């Protein structure tokens, strides 16, 4: 039966003047001697034994022929021709045995068909395991030794450092080269961060804000030559984040202590602490840790407080979400735009903070809940209109789906067009300018197609929503039944989550005062519909600075004027000459101003708040109010008896003849009292 002969010489062996010819000659003689017909001689010339047999060119052919049973014995010059370590030899032998091919060494006592050969095979496998273990230990020991010596063995080089040297000579060194476009080096930035934290006791957020304002590139930005210098090669967020700053502050590398092996998954792996050049002193480092710890205790953001509108209020100015927050030692809580806390979002781009107003939590929650409750108690109309909508849209749904499919196909067409134009360019049929022009044209077209697709998709999903809401009928009914009696917070929050998509907080100006306005978008409002199913109601927030909408009392007038002028009650009190408490009582309609205060009040308002009239009674009272006179004083001024004036003011009588003349003169005088122009 035929045999195969396998020959291999590595490049090193070639240098040592061992040649494939030597092995081939030996093989020929061996086969002659044992009278074995040779099917084929496979030779891998200049190939290392570390390459598995199935990856060597001749090895591939050999295994193929073995699979096809072209021979049933494989002869090798020595076992190590199959592989340099026992693992490779065993793999090769096992592979060949699978096809019923026995392996025989021409120079060693090894034949897998003999008992001795089998024994040797068993021993070999024992050795293989042992060898593997040894190799691993040796490599771990080697790595550890290198690590202890301070070699940088790969991984992302911390910000502020750069890699120097290669392989076992690699070290990390402080990066003192200025960052392109700045007079600062990365190490300077690290120092700044630690100084701001340890000395100025700034929070990570403030430090990140500072770095972003200074436009200092973030450490995780991509580096020019990622694979060589150990910096990230993936483009990361280009801004500093508080978490990023925090991670730097707790990194002991910066005080000269690098821990090797802390990211390993192997539990038994020894951590190696080795010295690296420090950027900050240990004292500064420890101080920064203290500040971090202190800031953490003060920070109450971690406590998940039950805010009814959590993550639902969106800022109308910058688009970020409002977060619920409770100040220390305050009963009240607020919702505040996340863009106000630090430079983030739309305004953050230019280093500013969002100018939105915070909302009084209790008040806004009460308003939103009242709105929800109002239609939960009476959902009939809502459901009726929902049903109408769904019925009407049955046919339209199909039309829209087809429309969307068409749009998608047209967009696909644009991709093909791009390929065509590129092909023309590649073949030199069009020049670069034409290429650009064509590509711009195609891009513009596909952009507009994409917009159309988005709109169409949204319209379709609106359909889904309506359909989904059909089944919400039962839900609404259940919810309504739960409204009787106190509602636990969790249920309330659930209801809000089910119904409210978002609450947009806008700023509007009324009476010259900026106020918050809330637009509640319910889930059943259609997104693209200008007139929503249920009009989102707008509220003017009754924070303390809410001017009254209706001016019914003198107090209302005072309050509005004060807020328009952006004054405090204290300031108004000074102007009018009363106490702050008095102004407060007037504004809250707990008391009315006396006639003595009226001239000052009218001066402050800039107008007489009482409506103009043609009646003697009203005009007489108005006139003396404006002058700040009592009825008695007023009667004296006119020159009549107080009881007569009293009768006039009550409307029992009207001034007649020469008394009417006197009264007119008095009215003219009073009206002539100049009012400050507002
Ligand atoms: Zn905002």
- Please give the average per-residue pLDDT across 124-151, as a whole number: 75
| pLDDT value at 298 more than 60 | no
| pLDDT value at 545 more than 60 | no
Domain that holds residue 408: 303-325+356-541
Give the residue from 40, 2, 1 showing the smallest Cα distance to 24. 40
Task: Please answer whether residues 257 and 168 qualify as being in contact, where contact means their C-beta atoms are separated by less than 8 angstroms.
Answer: no
| In-domain check, residue 196 | yes
| In-domain check, residue 101 | yes
Give the residue from 603, 512, 608 showing the smallest Cα distance to 563. 512
- Please give the average per-residue pLDDT across 548-557, as a whole number: 74
| In-domain check, residue 565 | yes
Q: Which pLDDT score, from 0 to 100, does residue 316 have?
A: 83
- Please give the average per-residue pLDDT across 616-634, as a whole number: 85
Ligand 1 midpoint to CA 490 (Å):
27
Strands 333-337 and 359-360: antiparallel
pLDDT band at 4 (very low <50, low <70, confident <90, very high): very high
48 and 62 assigned to the same domain: yes
| pLDDT value at 643 more than 80 | yes
- Please give the average per-residue pLDDT across 86-108, as a whole number: 84
Tally of domains in the chain: 4
- In this predicted structure, which of 427-431, 439-443, 532-536 has the lowest mean pLDDT? 532-536
Q: Which pLDDT score, from 0 to 100, does residue 17 have?
A: 66
| pLDDT value at 384 more than 90 | no
Question: 541, 572, 587: which is the final residue of a domain?
Answer: 541
Tell me the two tokens of residue 602. Answer: 């009218």
Ligand 1 midpoint to CA 339 (Å):
5
- In this predicted structure, which of 25-29, 50-54, 363-367, 672-676 has the lowest mean pLDDT? 672-676
| In-domain check, residue 584 | yes
pLDDT band at 26 (very low <50, low <70, confident <90, very high): confident
Share of the chain above pLDDT 90, in %: 5
259 and 317 assigned to the same domain: no
- b (16+ CB within 10 A) / e for 247-264: ebbebebbbbebebbeee
| pLDDT value at 459 more than 70 | no
Active site residue 10: yes
Q: Which pLDDT score, from 0 to 100, does residue 491 have?
A: 80
Neighbouring C-alpha atoms within 13 Å toward the C-beta of 2? 12
Residue-wise pLDDT for 209-268, tens only, equals 888 888 888 764 444 444 445 555 454 556 788 888 888 999 989 998 888 877 666 666
* Candidate ranges 33-47, 134-148, 417-431; pick with highest mean pLDDT: 33-47
| pLDDT value at 675 more than 60 | no
Strands of 333-337's sheet in order across: 322-326, 333-337, 359-360
Angle CA 521–524–529, to nearest 5? 70
642 and 660 assigned to the same domain: yes
| pLDDT value at 299 more than 50 | no
pLDDT band at 482 (very low <50, low <70, confident <90, very high): confident
134 and 270 assigned to the same domain: no
Instruction: Read off the CATH number of the domain in which 590 is found.
Output: 1.10.260.40
Ligand 1 midpoint to CA 544 (Å):
21
- Please give the average per-residue pLDDT across 459-473, as a whole number: 60
| pLDDT value at 321 more than 80 | yes
Q: Which pLDDT score, from 0 to 100, does residue 588 have?
A: 82
| pLDDT value at 431 more than 70 | yes
Q: What is the CA radius of gyration of the chain?
A: 44
Q: Which pLDDT score, from 0 to 100, does residue 190 have?
A: 92
Give the SS3 label for residue 224: coil
Q: Which pLDDT score, from 0 to 100, does residue 536 have?
A: 32
| pLDDT value at 674 more than 70 | no
pLDDT band at 542 (very low <50, low <70, confident <90, very high): very low
Q: Which pLDDT score, from 0 to 100, does residue 544 have?
A: 46
167 and 307 assigned to the same domain: no
More confident residue, 525 or 92: 92
What is the value of pTM for the model shown? 0.36
Residue-wise pLDDT for 504-531, tens only, equals 888 776 666 667 777 777 766 554 433 3
| In-domain check, residue 61 | yes
More confident residue, 235 or 497: 497
More confident residue, 356 or 16: 356
- In this predicted structure, which of 88-92, 350-354, 385-389 has the lowest mean pLDDT? 385-389
Angle CA 592–598–604, to nearest 5? 105
Instruction: Read off the CATH number of the domain in which 94 is found.
Output: 3.40.50.1390
Ligand 1 midpoint to CA 504 (Å):
10
pLDDT band at 372 (very low <50, low <70, confident <90, very high): confident
Q: What number of H helices and E strands is found in the chain?
A: 25, 15
Ligand 1 midpoint to CA 670 (Å):
51
| In-domain check, residue 442 | yes
Question: 541, 573, 589: which is the final residue of a domain?
Answer: 541
Q: Which of 10, 175, 203, 446 is catalytic?
A: 10
Ligand 1 midpoint to CA 452 (Å):
29
* Candidate ranges 58-67, 144-153, 407-416, 663-672; pick with highest mean pLDDT: 58-67
Ligand 1 midpoint to CA 340 (Å):
6
- DSSP string covering 243-287: HHHHHHHT-GGGGTEEEETTT-S-TTPPPEEEE---SS-HHHHHH
| In-domain check, residue 333 | no
Ligand 1 midpoint to CA 317 (Å):
5
- Please give the average per-residue pLDDT across 561-586, as a whole number: 85
Angle between helices 432-470 and 472-482 in degrees, nearest 10 = 60
Question: 481, 507, 541: which is the final residue of a domain?
Answer: 541
| pLDDT value at 631 more than 80 | yes
Ligand 1 midpoint to CA 543 (Å):
18
Backbone angles phi, psi at 102, to 5 degrees: -90, 145
- Please give the average per-residue pLDDT across 621-641, as a whole number: 86
| pLDDT value at 179 more than 50 | yes
pLDDT band at 532 (very low <50, low <70, confident <90, very high): very low
Residue-wise pLDDT for 180-223, tens only, equals 778 888 899 999 999 999 998 888 888 888 888 888 887 644 44
73 and 89 assigned to the same domain: yes
174 and 269 assigned to the same domain: yes
Burial of 465 (0-12, 13-18, 19+ CB in 10 A): middle
Ligand 1 midpoint to CA 540 (Å):
18
Strands 3-9 and 38-45: parallel
Instruction: Read off the CATH number of the domain in which 254 is found.
Output: 3.90.1750.20
Q: Which pLDDT score, from 0 to 100, does residue 620 have?
A: 86
- In this predicted structure, which of 35-49, 132-146, 193-207, 276-290 has the lowest mean pLDDT? 132-146
112 and 63 assigned to the same domain: yes
292 and 310 assigned to the same domain: no
| pLDDT value at 365 more than 60 | yes
592 and 529 assigned to the same domain: no
96 and 212 assigned to the same domain: no
284 and 311 assigned to the same domain: no
| In-domain check, residue 154 | no
Share of the chain above pLDDT 70, in %: 78
Q: Which pLDDT score, from 0 to 100, does residue 665 have?
A: 86
Angle between helices 657-672 and 616-627 in degrees, nearest 10 = 40
Burial of 18 (0-12, 13-18, 19+ CB in 10 A): middle
Tell me the two tokens of residue 392. Answer: 């009407």
């Amino acid at each position: 039966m035929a045999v195969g002969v396998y020959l291999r010489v590595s490049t090193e062996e070639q240098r040592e003047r061992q040649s494939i010819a030597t092995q081939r000659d030996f093989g020929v003689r061996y086969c002659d001697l044992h009278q074995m017909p040779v099917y084929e001689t496979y030779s891998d010339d200049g190939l290392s034994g570390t390459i598995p047999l199935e990856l060597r060119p001749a090895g591939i052919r050999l295994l193929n022929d073995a699979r096809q049973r072209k021979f049933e014995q494989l002869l090798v010059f020595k076992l190590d021709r199959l592989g340099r370590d026992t693992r490779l030899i065993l793999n090769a032998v096992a592979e060949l045995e699978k096809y019923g091919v026995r392996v025989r060494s021409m120079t060693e006592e090894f034949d897998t068909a003999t008992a001795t050969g089998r024994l040797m095979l068993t021993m070999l496998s024992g050795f293989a395991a042992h060898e593997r273990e040894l190799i691993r230990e040796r490599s771990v020991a080697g790595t550890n030794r290198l690590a202890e010596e301070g070699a940088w063995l790969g991984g992302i080089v911390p910000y502020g450092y750069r890699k120097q040297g290669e392989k076992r000579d690699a070290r990390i060194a402080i990066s003192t080269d200025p960052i392109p476009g700045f007079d600062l080096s990365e190490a300077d930035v690290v120092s700044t961060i630690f100084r701001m934290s340890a000395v100025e006791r700034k929070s990570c957020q403030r430090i990140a804000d500072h770095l972003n304002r200074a436009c200092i590139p973030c450490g995780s930005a991509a580096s020019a030559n990622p694979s060589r210098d150990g910096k990230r090669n993936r483009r990361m967020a280009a801004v500093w984040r508080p978490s990023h700053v925090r991670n730097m502050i707790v990194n002991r590398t910066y005080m000269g202590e690098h821990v090797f092996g802390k990211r390993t998954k192997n539990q038994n792996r020894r951590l190696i602490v080795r010295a690296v050049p420090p950027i900050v002193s240990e004292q500064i480092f420890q101080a920064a840790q203290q500040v971090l710890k202190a800031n953490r205790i003060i920070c109450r953001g971690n406590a998940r407080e039950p805010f009814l509108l959590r993550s639902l209020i969106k800022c109308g100015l910058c688009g970020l979400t409002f977060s619920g927050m409770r100040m220390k030692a305050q009963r009240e809580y607020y919702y505040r735009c996340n863009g106000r806390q630090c430079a983030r979002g739309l305004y953050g781009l230019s280093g500013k903070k969002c100018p939105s107003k915070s909302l009084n939590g209790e008040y806004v929650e009460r308003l939103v809940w009242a709105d929800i409750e109002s239609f939960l108690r009476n959902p009939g109309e809502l459901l009726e209109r929902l049903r109408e909508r769904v019925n009407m849209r049955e046919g339209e749904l199909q039309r829209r789906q087809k429309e969307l499919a068409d749009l998608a196909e047209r967009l696909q067409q644009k991709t093909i067009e791009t390929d065509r134009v590129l092909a023309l360019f590649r073949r030199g049929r069009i020049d670069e300018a034409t290429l650009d022009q064509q590509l711009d044209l195609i891009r513009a077209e596909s952009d507009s197609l994409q917009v159309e697709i988005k709109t169409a998709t949204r319209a379709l999903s609106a359909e889904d929503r309506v359909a989904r809401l059909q089944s919400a009928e039962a839900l609404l009914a259940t919810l309504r039944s739960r409204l009787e009696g106190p509602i636990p917070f969790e249920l309330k929050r659930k209801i809000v989550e089910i119904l409210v998509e978002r609450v947009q907080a806008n700023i509007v100006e009324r009476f010259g005062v900026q106020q918050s306005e809330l637009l509640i978008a319910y889930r059943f409002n259609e997104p693209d519909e200008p007139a929503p199913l249920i009009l989102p109601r707008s509220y003017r927030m009754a924070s303390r600075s809410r001017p009254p909408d209706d001016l019914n009392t003198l107090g209302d007038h005072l309050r509005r004027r004060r807020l328009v002028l952006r004054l405090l009650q204290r300031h108004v009190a000074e102007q009018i000459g009363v106490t702050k408490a008095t102004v407060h009582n007037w504004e809250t309609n707990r008391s009315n101003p006396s006639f003595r205060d009226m001239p000052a009040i009218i001066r402050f308002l800039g107008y007489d708040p009482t409506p103009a009239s043609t009646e003697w009674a009203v005009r007489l009272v108005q006139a003396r109010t404006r002058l700040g006179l009592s009825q008695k004083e007023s009667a004296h001024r006119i020159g009549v008896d107080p009881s007569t004036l009293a009768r006039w003011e009550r409307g029992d009588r009207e001034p007649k003849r020469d008394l009417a003349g006197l009264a007119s003169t008095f009215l003219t005088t009073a009206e002539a009292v100049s009012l400050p122009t507002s």
